[in-house]
Structure 1
Amino acid sequence: MLAPRRASVRIIETFATAVFLLAGAAACTAAPSPAPVPSPEVAIANHLHAVLDAVTGSEEVRAVLVHQDAEPVYEEYMSSTPDDTWNVYSVTKSVTSTLVGIAIDRGLISGVDATLGDLLPEYAAVLTAETSDIPLQAVLTHTANFAPDGDVRDLEGSADWIATILQDRADRGPGDGSFVYSTYGSHVLAAVVAEATGMSPFAFAREVLFAPLGIEVDEPWEERLLPGTDPDAYNRAYENAEVAWIADPQALNMGGAWLRLRPGDLARFAQLFLDEGERMGDEIVSSTWVALATSPMVATPVLGALSYGFQWWVDEERDEFAGVGFGGTVVLVDRRKDAMVVIACDVARDAPPTELGLTADSALALAQALIDDLPDSDG
């Protein structure tokens, strides 16, 4: 009984060996070569256009820039040139925050614990005991209970926007300290910068931020939006300007929106934060401020429940932070890959509902996908 079993084993072993040898021979002669891995530039281009072909609002995208290790990897301009400027909408908030940081670095503001009563003495008459005690940090993190962006108000009919915003905040009360996204609160930051520096935010930015970054501002435009201004004429002048920043009746540039910059200017700004506040060895804003501003300070229910820092959205899990503007404008900075993505869009101040660009969620998701197409940093 044992011999037949050994014979069966030998037959099976012989058959298995033959199959193995035949398979090996076939693999040597017939196996296709692995498909070549596309370069990051090709992968980004393919991914970008697949997304833009599929999402609503892509017609308003004007530029996409992807840089890594301080070098361009991919740049594309759609119906535009590198010299064209665009309204960066709420990415303006991140610029205003940086101006606050520079003012603190220079000793012009004592710190983020300073209160509105200390920072805005000109508005003592409209500040209450409660609103006087609002710390700067609460304004920077949208936890001071200023009016949410969804609230309708006729600021453009007011002779003093800051007074109107502060009075509205006094009427609302302190809230519960939770996150309430407020462009009105960001405009208060512009007033803080102006009071501390004795300059308009735009003038201060040109001196301490734009010029050191190599952002050219040959003919700055910062016309005041006064009550009774013809909106059509004003919008045309703004959109025909080069680098521009809308100002309120007190000549305070809008702290939360309406700054016009080139896509490359946004890339320089993002690189400043990747380089911890330095450019070519010179400190523009302290590394301390860069770290604080881009740290997760408060939880939010927005953009996939991202955290929020000092006017920056923060994705702690991906080690990323972003400025995100209406219509799809995004500045995304990724520390892991030493990379950034800039998406610039053309959405007019008076755009019809059919021309509002990408949603914030779509634009940020696209920027993150393009980061994922990059290899690890060489740095």
Structure 2
Amino acid sequence: MHRFALQPACHARPSAQASRLLRCALFWSLLLWAATGQSAGGRNALDAIVERAGNLERTHTLLVAVDGETVVARGFRGHDVDTTANIKSLSKTWMATLVGAAIDRGMIESVDQPIGELLGPRMPHGADERVARITVGQLLSMQSGLERTSGANYGSWVASRDWVANALQRPFVAEPGTRMLYSTGNTHVLSAILTRASGRSTLALMRDWLGKPLGIDIPPWTRDPQGIYFGGNEMGMTPHALLVFGEMIRRGGRVGEQQVISRDWIESSWRGRTRSIYTGDAYGYGWFTTDLAGVTAHYGRGYGGQVLFVVPERQMTVVMTSDPTPPSDGRYFGRQAEIVEALIEAD
């Protein structure tokens, strides 16, 4: 088992001890199952949930941490938790966190800073003059107002000679700051902003600001024709690295004594600013928020079933990776959310 530097629930303050006694007993029973693979009463609740997750036809891995302890780390169909997986648009959650780290360091002034100030000569000629006034926050929350580069437009966008220019030269189809238009072009522009503001590649920043303090490897991934690392898709991460990242977020941005990302940024990124037209879930900066089993859950997701859930009220982090190849029914995510809901109810 992977162990995180947190105390389990039964080491709570004495005044809280009695109210958490039942949960503590369940916690240790889950740990016993994870360590021995045995259940005194036959198949226990966690065993059944793990089997149910594995029976989803696309599932590659499932990891669950509760109170800082990894209670499930399972691979299916020949996959394991320490092999790099393409996390698809779950990359957007990482990019949003990297932007928060840049704001923490003063490299970007705030989410209200206009992108024209940050891109400088990288602003494309012929773009609508309003493009320069789009803010960092509007890119993060998918509220730039520009025509999407995702969906039916994705293929032509990534085939273009300049992804940044192509994304910013698109027409406005909504007022900036209004409705959500999910577009990978938004997060790729943020990668270009980080590269220009820092003089370093997005990969170098990701390794320095996140990889090192988390103790995880971040391999290179796709770059655009100008050499800018793809902001918002195609990153490769091990499922275990995703769990470590999620646990850092759950703990308010801390790893041990080190503050990797500010708590204020995490809380801001979880604050809903718009809603998905597909699920109705709130969207902040790289994170969706929903209600599962009566508690708040924050999640990032990528095509084909790459998901990371953080459930602060249950001190729980859940990772699922899946077959990333098309086709993938959008309803598959709902089935994964049901797995997470069952885990919450069992906790």
Shorter chain as denominator, the TM-score bin is 0.7 to 0.9
Structure 2 residue matching 1:196: 3-state secondary structure? helix
CA distance in 2, matches of 1:270, 1:114: 27
| 1:363 counterpart = 2:336 | yes
| 1:117 counterpart = 2:116 | yes
Match runs of 1:61-140 below 5 Å = 61-78=59-76, 79-126=78-125, 127-140=127-140
Match of 1:322 among 290, 294, 299: 299
Aligned to 1:377: none
Aligned to 2:283: 308
| 1:46 counterpart = 2:48 | yes
Aligned to 2:206: 205
Alpha-carbon shift at residue 268 of structure 1 (Å):
0.7
Q: Which amino acid aligns with 1:164?
A: N
What are the Cα deviations for residues 101-129 of structure 1, in whole angstroms up to 9, with x where unaligned? 00000000000000111121122343432
Alpha-carbon shift at residue 352 of structure 1 (Å):
4.8
TM-score (norm 2): 0.81
Alpha-carbon shift at residue 329 of structure 1 (Å):
1.0
The size of the alignment, in residue pairs, is 303
Q: Which amino acid aligns with 1:191?
A: A
CA distance in 2, matches of 1:87, 1:358: 20
CA distance in 2, matches of 1:125, 1:89: 27
- Checking the alignment, whether the CA contact within 8 Å between 2:123 and 2:165 is kept in structure 1 is no
Alpha-carbon shift at residue 43 of structure 1 (Å):
1.5
Q: CA RMSD in A?
A: 2.2
Q: Which amino acid aligns with 1:84?
A: T
| 1:216 counterpart = 2:217 | yes
- Checking the alignment, whether the CA contact within 8 Å between 1:294 and 1:313 is kept in structure 2 is yes
What are the Cα deviations for residues 186-220 of structure 1, in whole angstroms up to 9, with x where unaligned? 21111121122111211110011111100024xxx
Q: Which amino acid aligns with 2:263?
A: S
Structure-2 change in CA distance of 1:318 and 1:302 (3 Å): farther
Alpha-carbon shift at residue 51 of structure 1 (Å):
5.1
> Larger Rg: 1 or 2?
1
Match runs of 1:227-246 below 5 Å = 243-246=219-222
What are the Cα deviations for residues 330-370 of structure 1, in whole angstroms up to 9, with x where unaligned? 100001111110001232xxx353x7797222223322322
Structure 2 residue matching 1:342: 3-state secondary structure? strand
Match runs of 1:248-267 below 5 Å = 248-267=224-243
CA distance in 1, matches of 2:225, 2:273: 33
Match of 1:294 among 257, 263, 270: 270
Aligned to 1:344: 321
Match of 2:308 among 318, 322, 331: 331
Structure-2 change in CA distance of 1:166 and 1:357 (3 Å): closer
CA distance in 2, matches of 1:164, 1:356: 29
Alpha-carbon shift at residue 88 of structure 1 (Å):
0.6
Alpha-carbon shift at residue 73 of structure 1 (Å):
1.3
Percent identity, aligned pairs only?
28
Q: Which runs of 5+ in 1 are unaligned?
A: 1-36, 218-242, 375-379
- Checking the alignment, whether the CA contact within 8 Å between 2:124 and 2:165 is kept in structure 1 is no
CA distance in 1, matches of 2:330, 2:322: 7
- Checking the alignment, whether the CA contact within 8 Å between 1:48 and 1:370 is kept in structure 2 is no
TM-score (norm 1): 0.74
- Checking the alignment, whether the CA contact within 8 Å between 2:86 and 2:237 is kept in structure 1 is yes
Structure-2 change in CA distance of 1:146 and 1:360 (3 Å): farther
Structure-2 change in CA distance of 1:295 and 1:172 (3 Å): closer
Structure 1 residue matching 2:278: 3-state secondary structure? coil
What are the Cα deviations for residues 293-321 of structure 1, in whole angstroms up to 9, with x where unaligned? 11222233332x11011010012662220
- Checking the alignment, whether the CA contact within 8 Å between 1:87 and 1:346 is kept in structure 2 is no
